[in-house]
Amino acid sequence: MDTRPEQQGKWQPGGLNWPEIRPIYPCPDTPQYTQQLPRPNPGIELPSEPIECEGWVLVNLQHYIDAQFATFAEKRLVGVGPEQWYFGRTDGWVLYFWNTDDTGELGRRPVGFFDLRVIVHTGVLGAGGLFKVDAGLNGGELSFKVKSRHEAEMWASAMRQALVAKVHMDRIHKEEGLERAQLARSTFHASPPKGGTEMMSFQEPTRQVYYVNPQRVKALRKIWESCVSGADRGPNVDTYIELFDMYNADMNDDLDLNEMEVMVRDLAVVREQELERVLAVSRARMLDSRRLKLDGAAALSRWQREIGAPGKRLQQMYDCYLQAGGAESRAILLRSEMDTSRDGRVTPSEFLQNAPIFLMPPAELLLEAQFYKQCEQAMRADRHQEDEEDGGCLQM
């Protein structure tokens, strides 16, 4: 080792020339010593919004698969245990089940846990006086029971939140991975991109502005009007076949998440445009000077009750679909409900079977049908009143 005083502290190939730390040979030209691209965070990324839910659940934490690792006595004497009451509590991506002692205090450690990121579907069913929460997985399910429907819906909502957060996070990571791959393949780079690669969180309540092709708007309006006019009857299968073909862009008989998101967004845009048009016409007729002079306060109150308030409820519904992340969240849940085979695909048969229930639910269509029927009746009554007033004038 070179220990000459005049060489100490000087920069040499391989580092500073301190006798106690300087290597004899410089660092080899291998990848771990060269400049690397940014690597993804190896730690667990928690949900952007906390998933908070807790309460008492009746669940069986022992499974027949556990018998593969049990002793002979445990196999014969224990078997699959009965359902027991545990205190369930979510923490990040994990649902923990806590046991209690004789005094009712929670134990120091959970007796079981469940990873919420593996959920692909969730639902609530009645079960002999209790309510059963089903968490569907790829190849199985976890179910537990609670005492009230409110508790069951609370747990199902938390699981749906986890499903949406996981899929949204996977999409962000996929896009970031594509950007890193493009950067790695490139041999020339201009100035580095500004602002990083972060995407807007799907929980942002910011309203987005979308453009829909006029030809598609015309076709979607026709499909939607057909569904609204038949809200009190059974769904028209041909309507949903046309809708599937319109958004199955790659023609692979599978509506992926991107295609489903565009469908949800475009339908919300078309429905909102028609709502705004009808409200503008109805509001202009209501604010007519002759009407205000004759029956201003009563007409305004009647319009607000019959048209204004229902229209506001529809507007709020469309706003939920069109705010940032709204269409994505709804598309994730729609695919979860429509993918009955749990193979990650939404086929034409699955779409035709489930779209009339989940894409445009009967409750939404009935609300729209009642609103537009009320608007039509109000406009017909206005025209009738105007005809009577004109007919009462002096004829010259």
In sequence order, the 6+-apart residues with CB closer than 8 A to the CB of 322 are: 207, 208, 210, 265, 268, 269, 272
User: Between these two residues, 70 and 336, which has the higher pLDDT value?
Assistant: 336
| pLDDT tens, residue by residue, 111-134 | 888 899 999 999 999 888 899 999
Range 84-108 average pLDDT: 80
Name every residue whose Cβ is closer than 8 Å to that of residue 374 and which is 6 or more positions away in sequence: 306, 307, 310
Looking up tokens 């499909």, which residue turns up?
223
pLDDT of residue 119: 92
What pLDDT is recorded for position 69? 64
CA proximity to 265, closest of 220, 310, 228, 227: 220
Confidence of residue 99 (pLDDT cuts 50, 70, 90): confident
pTM comes to 0.71
Worst-scoring range by mean pLDDT, 72-76, 148-152, 174-178? 72-76
Residue in 147, 314, 351 with CA at minimum distance from that of residue 228: 314
Split at pLDDT 50, 70, 90, the class of 380 is confident
Q: Binning pLDDT at 50, 70 and 90, where does residue 89 land?
A: very high
Helix axes 348-358, 326-338, angle to 10 degrees: 120
Distances (CA, A) of 160 to 153, 294, 319, 334, 337: 10, 53, 20, 11, 11
**pLDDT of amino acid 266:** 93
User: Rounded mean pLDDT of the chain?
Assistant: 78
Residue 132 to residues 137, 148, 208, 240: CA-CA distances in angstroms?
A: 16, 9, 37, 32
**Residues sharing a CB contact under 8 Å with residue 235, sequence separation 6 or more, in sequence order:** 227, 356
Give tens-digit pLDDT for 291-326. 655 566 777 788 888 888 999 999 999 998 888 888
Which of 160-169, 216-225, 375-384 is least confident? 375-384
Residue 102: C-alpha distances to residues 96, 98, 107 (Å): 20, 13, 10
Q: What is the pLDDT of residue 186?
A: 63
Q: From edge to edge, which strands make up the β-sheet containing 140-146?
A: 106-115, 94-100, 84-91, 54-59, 140-146, 130-137, 121-127
Q: Residue 173: its pLDDT value, please? A: 83
Residue 332: other Cβ atoms inside 10 A? 21
> Residue 396's pLDDT band (boundaries 50, 70, 90)?
very low
Tell which residue, 199, 189, 233, has the closest CA to residue 366.
Answer: 233
Is 232 strand, coil or helix? coil
pLDDT at position 201, please?
Answer: 43
Q: For residue 260, which of 337, 318, 176 has the smallest C-alpha distance?
A: 337
Which span out of 21-25, 35-39, 107-111, 124-128 was modeled with the highest average pLDDT? 124-128
Can you name the residues that pair with 137 across neighbouring β-strands? 140
Give the pLDDT mean for 8-37.
Answer: 52
Residue closest to 197 by CA, chosen among 173, 165, 164: 173
Number of H helices, E strands in the chain: 10, 9
SS3 282: helix
CA distances (Å), origin 175, targets 197, 213, 365:
9, 26, 36
Q: Which two tokens stand for residue 176?
A: 């970031």
Task: Check pLDDT > 70 for residue 79.
Answer: no
pLDDT of residue 95: 92
Q: Which of 264, 262, 259, 263 is closest to 320 using CA atoms? A: 264
- Give the pLDDT score at 302: 82
